Amino acid sequence: MKNEIKAEAYHLGFIDIGFTTPDVDVNYAQFLEWTEKGCQAGMQYLARNNTLSVRQSAKNLLPECETVICLAYPYPLIAPTATEDQGRIASYALLQDYHITVSELANKLVKKISQLLGDQLLAQVHLDTSPILEKSYARQAGLGWIGRNSLLIHPKYGSGLFLCEILINISIEPDSPFTTDGCQNCLRCLNACPTKAILPNRSIDARRCLSYLTIENRGEIPKEFRQAMGNRIFGCDQCQLACPYNKQSKTSLNAESGQPTINPTPELDDSFAMTEEEFHSHYKQNPVLRAKYTGFRRNLAIAMGNSENPDFLPLLHQAQNTEPNPIVAEAIAWAINNLEPSANPQPDPSFMA
């Protein structure tokens, strides 16, 4: 039965599958310490009392759970070349929202398991929207190790992975946990991080992380990190692009699922000019919607401010007079200040020795 489940998972496009039990060590103590230090930043749902304790065991999601089936689905990491007029969108967001695609595939696998086990099966599909420490479960199921950048790294497929868990009420022989540390003494991801957000214990301080700041963050982006954003308008792949396991990754998606559904380097001015309705239509069923319309415009304004291209000034001045959102308005003002020659006077050469 276990082999049949694995065969079906590979047939559906998952690159790996592993089995573990719900009560294995999932680094829950480290997660508690991480939230106590406030490293979750504005993602307070991670530290809510009603979900905090749930993460200790998958049995808190499904009391009858006897087996956690861990799945990994790949996505290609892309390092797009963008001009000063273009923004950059993180690789995982170039495909249809994985919450849709991966959960659909996982539910197809559940149907296969149901055929094998019959009416006695109870099953739940979970992704990262559920209170489950999925990377730790994946390590316990033998899929890979937790890298220095906090991501699960598969020895053949790197970290460009969407993780998913199926909880079932049937006991299946667990796989051995992954115990090798493939990172060893490598520090490339730490050195590549633009804001030094990677902590020594292989976790991320979201308060400094550009992925959090440009996606989940609903407030202003701290000024100390804006220059480091560069032209990133949604997410940041730097720690993954620096990882040698991703440079040699065997990720290979089929032609249909592997083709980007959006432009990885959209024009900044065209994107900024979108109405809210156009934004939702253009990024329908895409992770970019996670940033919300105002967050996306905030990011675009900062990217324009970093571009050193004064041609954006007319658009920014026009928006400054009509922008109703104070967070976006502040980002626009910052961008104008960066681009206005009068705001950044150059030294008079005649006074230079």
As annotated, the active-site residues are 128
Which residue do the tokens 């009509």 mark? Answer: 322
Long-range contacts of 339-348 (CB under 8 A, 24+ apart): 339/304, 339/305, 339/307, 339/308, 339/309, 339/310, 339/312, 339/313, 340/310, 340/313, 341/310
Q: What are phi and psi of 72, to 5 degrees?
A: -130, 130
Structure tokens given for 66: 């006897």
Are the CB atoms for 64 and 2 separated by under 8 Å?
A: no
Alpha helices in 92-225 (DSSP H): 98-117, 134-140, 188-192, 210-215
- C-alpha 295/C-alpha 308 separation (Å) is 21
